[in-house]
Structure 1
Amino acid sequence: MKPAHRLAIAGGIAVLAALLSSFVGDSVPEQLVTNWDAAGEPSGTMPKEQALWLPPALMAVLIGLFAVLPRIDPLRENIATFRRYYDWFVVVLTAFLFLVHAGILAFNLGYEFHFVHLLLAGVALLFYYTGVILTKSKRNWFIGIRTPWTLSSDEVWDRTNKLGGRLFKFTAILALVGLLFGEWAIYFLLVPALLTAVVTVVYSYYLYERVEREVDAEGT
């Protein structure tokens, strides 16, 4: 399957989101609930027109942006090596946004469910695939764990992103387990996600310093 075909799948999801908005537009209230607290209680609203059409527009913009990035990245040849995973990430991200959009519309149509749990399940799946693409990625400026140290060394990039990929997958699994713990579920995502961010940044710095010392030692 060519990149354009995979991105077309994402585009189809965005079109489906627009069609869904059009289909339910007359049935939802003028103010839609679009925010919930950790306990799953509604905490914010948005005017109907914005809630209906902003998500499909955002999907379209993101798809266009992701289509352009491989063309403008100075290290575009590296993206080409994992382009299949890159394209499917765009599909997964668009599907996640569609899930959120559909969930908001369903809630405002009167269907009763715990929206935060739906959101956490979607984020968990998105995080898991993020872990997949991290383990496949090569050094570039847009996709992956980008720190000054990973961007300066292929070895540091590869090892840091492989570690980050495993941690993202583990975070996704914890987030799904957290769904069993009610209003505490969100912490099963936030805490490991924060730790993942800190660990990967620190690890990339530590690894870069170690690699540089080894290079200096070999030079002497």
Structure 2
Amino acid sequence: MQHRYGPRLSFALIAATAAIGLVILWLAPAGAVVPVHFSGRWVPDRFATAWHGLLIWIGMLTALWLVFYGIQYCFRSDVGLQASLPVYDLAWITLTAGLCALAVGSMEYAVGIKIALASLNSVMSGVFFLAVGNCLGKIRPNRFLGIRTPWTKANVRVWERTHRTCGPIFILAGIGLIAAGFGMLGLPVGLKLINCFMLGMLLFCYGLSWFYWRQERTRG
């Protein structure tokens, strides 16, 4: 049985976030509030009591952990997914880490510390794309994880070529998001920026898989 680090490390991140949140609550003045909803540019537009905010964030993180934990068992008979579990764990951990960072950043509002959550979100999203892109070529054909288009699912070679080629694209997107988060691109950071990066990658990967499939048919 292969060594798994995803479930334990992601759970440890959630536990650490809960502990930091409790410390912040202990330091926060009476009646302190924290943001629990944001606009497209990550400007807080809805607030709750600090205790309520902590419960919302920890509840969301716990739900995410249960989803990831459950998926691996729903597809436990999928040989390809089981062979790709190290990449699955890496995506699990980096996504959890990003949300934990946002949770702590939101909770710090209770003690008067206002972090630029839009920039933080952009940087953590960039880290996620960097981590996934670095390992994308290691994902084996499976029924859940990876770039699943009609053409990658139809041909193993198309799957492998698409994932190897798209890995560097994910890395470049990650670098771009991190640079935008630090204000190096002069772009307004927010959901629109991240959605543009994701849409661009989606279209590229979708089209590339079709192109590789056409090449394979021509060779055949």
Normalising by the smaller structure, the TM-score range is: 0.7 to 0.9
Structure 2, unaligned stretches of length 5 or more?
A: none
Please tell me whether the aligned partners of residues 105 and 115 of structure 2 are also in contact (alpha carbons under 8 angstroms). no
Match of 1:218 in 2: none
Q: CA deviation at 1:142?
A: 1.9
Change beyond 3 A, Cα 1:74–1:151:
farther
**Aligned-CA RMSD value:** 2.6
Match for 1:2: what amino acid? Answer: H
Match of 1:7 in 2: 7
Change beyond 3 A, Cα 1:119–1:107:
farther
| Aligned sequence identity (%) | 17
Change beyond 3 A, Cα 1:52–1:78:
same
Q: Deviations over 1:49-69 (max 9, x none)?
A: 553122222222222322232
C-alpha distance in 2 between matches for 1:159 and 1:197: 16
Q: CA deviation at 1:122?
A: 0.8
Match of 2:213 among 179, 198, 208: 208
> SS at the partner of 2:54?
helix
Match of 1:117 among 119, 139, 157: 119
Change beyond 3 A, Cα 1:135–1:25:
same
Change beyond 3 A, Cα 1:75–1:214:
farther
**TM-score, normalised by the number of residues in structure 1:** 0.82
Please tell me whether the aligned partners of residues 81 and 143 of structure 2 are also in contact (alpha carbons under 8 angstroms). no
**TM-score, normalised by the number of residues in structure 2:** 0.82
The size of the alignment, in residue pairs, is: 212
Superposition pairs for residues 15-94 of structure 1, below 5 Å?
15-25=15-25, 27=28, 29-30=32-33, 32=35, 34-36=37-39, 38=41, 42-48=43-49, 49-73=51-75, 76-94=78-96
Match of 1:180 among 166, 184, 196: 184
Match for 1:8: what amino acid? Answer: R
Q: Deviations over 1:83-124 (max 9, x none)?
A: 223222212111111011111112343114422111111111
Q: Deviations over 1:2-57 (max 9, x none)?
A: 21x4411111111122223333336273452642554x6x3411433553122222
Match for 1:16: what amino acid? Answer: A
Match of 1:131 in 2: 133
Match for 1:94: what amino acid? Answer: T
Q: Greater relative contact order: 1 or 2 (C-alpha under 8 angstroms, separation 6 or more)?
A: 2
